[in-house]
Amino acid sequence: MPTELAARAAFDVKRRMNMLCPVRLVSCDLRDGQQAAIATRMTTEEMLPVLKPLDEFGFDALEVWGGATFDACIRFLGEDPWERLRIIKAHVKKTPLRMLLRGQNLLGYAPYPDDVVDHFVAAAARDGIDIFLIFDGLNDVRNVRRAAEAALKAGKKVEANLQFTSSPVHTVESFIKTARDYLDIGATALHLEDMGGMKTPREAVETVKALKATFDVPVHYHAHCVGGMTDITYWEVIRAGVDVVDVDTAAFALGTGHPCAESLIAVLAGTERDTGLDYTKLAPITAHLQKVRQAHHEYESKLRGVDINVVRHQIPGGMRSNLEFQLAQLNAETHLPEVLKEVVAVRRDLGYPPLGTPFSQMCGAQATMNVMSGGRYKVLLKEVKDYVLGKYGKAPGPVAEVLKKLVLRKELEPLSCRPADLIAPGWQAGVSASRDIAKSEEDILTYLLFPQVGGEFLKRKYA
On the question of pLDDT at 317 being above 60, the answer is: no
Cα–Cα distance between 364 and 366 in angstroms, integer?
6
Whether residue 12 lies inside any domain: the answer is no
Which residues fall within 8 angstroms of residue 399, CB to CB, at 6 or more apart? 349, 350, 351, 388, 414
| Largest CA-CA distance found in the chain, in angstroms, rounded | 73
On the question of pLDDT at 20 being above 80, the answer is: no
Domain residues for the domain of 230 are 20-299
* CATH code of the domain covering residue 371: 1.10.472.90
Whether residue 205 lies inside any domain: the answer is yes
Last residue of a domain, one of 248, 266, 299: 299
Whether residue 306 lies inside any domain: the answer is no
Q: Are both 359 and 430 inside the same structural domain? A: no
**Domains contained in the chain, number:** 3
Whether residue 9 lies inside any domain: the answer is no
Query: 242, 221 in Cβ contact below 8 A?
Result: yes
Q: Is 73 exposed, middle or buried (0-12, 13-18, 19+ CB in 10 A)?
A: buried
Tell me the pLDDT band of 450, cut-offs 50, 70 and 90.
very high
Long-range contacts of 361-366 (CB under 8 A, 24+ apart): 361/109, 361/319, 362/387, 364/315, 364/319, 364/323, 364/339
* CATH code of the domain covering residue 80: 3.20.20.70
Query: 108, 136 in Cβ contact below 8 A?
Result: no
Which range has the worst mean pLDDT, 209-213, 239-243, 315-319, 444-448? 315-319
Last residue of a domain, one of 275, 299, 323: 299
Q: What is the pLDDT of residue 134?
A: 98
Tell me the pLDDT band of 318, cut-offs 50, 70 and 90.
low
Whether residue 308 lies inside any domain: the answer is no
Q: Are both 139 and 269 inside the same structural domain? A: yes
Whether residue 7 lies inside any domain: the answer is no
The model's pTM is 0.91
On the question of pLDDT at 227 being above 60, the answer is: yes
On the question of pLDDT at 357 being above 90, the answer is: no
Q: Are both 145 and 186 inside the same structural domain? A: yes
On the question of pLDDT at 27 being above 80, the answer is: yes
Q: Are both 339 and 207 inside the same structural domain? A: no
Q: Are both 327 and 348 inside the same structural domain? A: yes
Q: What is the pLDDT of residue 17?
A: 52
Query: What burial letters (b/e) apply to 266-279, b meaning 16+ CB within 10 Å?
Result: ebbeeeebebebeb
Cα–Cα distance between 458 and 128 in angstroms, integer?
21
Q: Are both 77 and 225 inside the same structural domain? A: yes
Which range has the worst mean pLDDT, 248-257, 282-291, 299-308? 299-308
Q: Are both 155 and 57 inside the same structural domain? A: yes
Cα–Cα distance between 36 and 223 in angstroms, integer?
11
On the question of pLDDT at 5 being above 60, the answer is: no
Which range has the worst mean pLDDT, 11-25, 155-169, 336-350, 363-377? 11-25
Q: What angle do CA 32, 36, 42 make, to 5 degrees?
A: 75
Cα–Cα distance between 40 and 72 in angstroms, integer?
6
| pLDDT 10s digits, 78-101 | 999 999 999 999 999 999 999 999
Check residues 316 and 417 and name the one with the higher pLDDT.
417
Q: Are both 377 and 239 inside the same structural domain? A: no
Cα–Cα distance between 452 and 456 in angstroms, integer?
6
Cα dihedral value 300, 371, 353, 410, nearest 10: -150
Q: Are both 42 and 79 inside the same structural domain? A: yes
pLDDT, the chain, mean: 92
Tell me the pLDDT band of 415, cut-offs 50, 70 and 90.
confident
Q: What mean pLDDT comes out for the span 323-351?
A: 87
Whether residue 139 lies inside any domain: the answer is yes
Q: Are both 136 and 26 inside the same structural domain? A: yes
Whether residue 10 lies inside any domain: the answer is no
Query: 188, 199 in Cβ contact below 8 A?
Result: no
Q: At what angle do helices 317-329 and 359-373 cross, to 10 degrees?
A: 30
Q: Are both 440 and 416 inside the same structural domain? A: no
On the question of pLDDT at 378 being above 80, the answer is: yes
Q: What mean pLDDT comes out for the span 440-445?
A: 98
Cα–Cα distance between 358 and 453 in angstroms, integer?
18
Q: Are both 110 and 250 inside the same structural domain? A: yes
Check residues 343 and 149 and name the one with the higher pLDDT.
149
Q: What mean pLDDT comes out for the span 294-311?
A: 85
